[in-house]
Amino acid sequence: MRISILCSDAEHPVNTYLQLWVARNNFEHQVELVRKKSELSGGDILFLISCGEIVSARDRKAYTSSLVLHASDLPRGRGWSPHIWELLAGADGIVMSLLEAEDKVDSGRIWSKRWVPIPKTALWHEINDLVFSAEMELMDFALTSFGNICPQQQPIDVEATYFRLRTWQDSQVDPNKSIIEQFDQIRVCDPNRFPAFFELRGQRYALKLEKYDNE
């Protein structure tokens, strides 16, 4: 099969997983990883992962199936960074959804869903590993199920909810609050891209959370 992956952000931590997935599947398939939709060559499957461009229906016609990986139990949690928002709300796991791309954000038919437990002690890089590994498994599922899948419409009796785009200000913590009150906020922050920080006495300070070996 001819497979394309469109990931706009070359610095996104998911790229390490995507590159390994491409290398593993290039033995049986023709796989390309591109940064711009203008680089897409068409084929059987298009995966849209951390894609910042609008990929129109006309663009998608170059592929038999255009699929999105989304970290929420759709139709709840459409929009941006859903697993971060859910963990901040106290979730102990997330649902990964593999769905068809449509013009309306995250509204397409569902190919598969997968529950991913997230320990309350997991830090940002451990959370990433669990989420991205599940995404790769769903991409594998798309390949093995291609041509034999019966996608399901998203339930109409469940109200769709939407998450807004996170900004760097969402990583700011309050020095007057306790650590336990803000632990989830700190642990989900990527110290390289969106570090947790606080301001005190006219100075801004970055926070980096690391685990000690309990022994």
Please state whether beta strands 196-200 and 203-207 pair in parallel, antiparallel, or not at all (unpaired). antiparallel
Quote the DSSP letter at residue 108.
S
Per-residue pLDDT tens over the stretch 80-124: 999 999 999 999 999 999 999 999 999 999 999 999 999 999 999
Per-residue pLDDT tens over the stretch 156-199: 999 999 999 999 999 999 999 999 999 999 999 999 999 999 99
CB within 8 Å of 31: residues ≥ 6 apart: 3, 4, 5, 22, 25
Q: Which CATH superfamily is domain 2-163 in?
A: Formyl transferase, N-terminal domain (3.40.50.170)
User: To the nearest whole number, what is the mean pLDDT of the chain?
Assistant: 96
pTM for this model (two decimals) = 0.95
Closest to 69 measured CA to CA, from 22, 16, 157, 6: 6
Q: Measured between alpha carbons, how far is 84 from 94 in angstroms, rounded to an integer? A: 10
Half-sphere exposure of 151 (CA within 13 A, CB side): 18
Using the predicted structure, report yes or no on whether residue 1 has a pLDDT greater than 80: yes
pLDDT for res 214: 76
Q: Measured between alpha carbons, how far is 49 from 16 in angstroms, rounded to an integer? A: 13
Q: Measured between alpha carbons, how far is 126 from 50 in angstroms, rounded to an integer? A: 19
pLDDT for res 87: 98
> Domains of the chain: which residue ranges?
2-163, 168-207
